[in-house]
């Protein structure tokens, strides 16, 4: 059976790529054909004289299929700013139809497609559409990455509300301990478990240099 998931987060920089990469690794280890998709990436770095996008590289490193970059990452921008702003600055418009076409070509070849959004669930893509519209048009179950820090309960509940408003399945959530100094993190997790109507797929421990292999040890893919 072919499956796919849309990865969103309570904000930007909350560990979406780490979680997506760990999910890819886990499904790959089950012998499935996997591919990670980053529809829109902002913020290029230079490696060996070439521009690269770190999130795209990480997803590809954990995918079992080596499919064309144009399908895995249809839109990429040099500046580390919101995608709709980056696109407008170079006279481009992000087109969900083009992303959807690329996604279906990936889906034709893979058992599992993990689609990682940019920013939060309502991060704009163009003048009228957001990541939520993309998830809706792809009709994918959503996995929410919750950054454990002050304010995370409100952010998580608002995102859950937005997922339901799109009529999408809330497939699960992953807690990521990004702030080692956070007070009462376990109590926050318990509050989230009481209020989020989806299974907790795992709690990622704080790591200065997190890796997909380590993160996978803390996930429960059987809950998906």
CA distances to 14, 26, 51, 53, 84 from 45, rounded to whole Å, are 19, 28, 6, 6, 19
CA distances to 46, 110, 142, 165 from 121, rounded to whole Å, are 28, 25, 10, 12
The secondary structure of residue 61, as a DSSP letter, is H
* Contact criterion met (CB below 8 Å) for 204 and 177: yes
Catalytic residue among 16, 38, 193, 223: 38
16 is catalytic: no
The secondary structure of residue 68, as a DSSP letter, is -
CA distances to 145, 165, 185 from 220, rounded to whole Å, are 14, 26, 20
The catalytic site residues sit at 38
């Amino acid at each position: 059976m072919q499956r796919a998931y849309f990865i969103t987060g309570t904000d930007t920089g909350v560990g979406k790529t780490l979680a997506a990469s760990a999910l890819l690794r886990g499904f790959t280890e089950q012998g499935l054909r996997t591919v990670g998709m980053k529809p829109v990436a902002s913020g290029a770095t230079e490696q060996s004289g070439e521009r690269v996008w770190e999130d795209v590289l990480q997803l590809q490193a954990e995918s079992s299929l080596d499919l064309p970059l144009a399908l895995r990452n249809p839109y990429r921008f040099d500046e580390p700013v919101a995608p709709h702003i980056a696109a407008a600055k170079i006279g481009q418009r992000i087109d969900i139809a083009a992303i959807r076409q690329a996604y279906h070509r990936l889906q034709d070849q893979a058992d599992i497609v993990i689609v990682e959004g940019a920013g939060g669930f309502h991060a704009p893509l163009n003048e009228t559409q957001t990541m939520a519209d993309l998830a809706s048009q792809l009709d994918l179950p959503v996995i929410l990455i919750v950054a454990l820090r002050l304010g995370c309960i409100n952010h998580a509940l608002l995102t859950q509300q937005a997922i339901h408003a799109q009529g999408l399945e809330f497939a699960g959530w992953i807690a990521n301990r990004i702030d080692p100094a956070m007070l009462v993190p376990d109590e926050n997790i318990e509050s989230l478990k009481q209020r989020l109507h989806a299974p907790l797929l795992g709690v990622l421990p704080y790591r200065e240099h997190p890796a997909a292999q380590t993160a996978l040890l803390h996930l429960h893919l059987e809950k998906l």
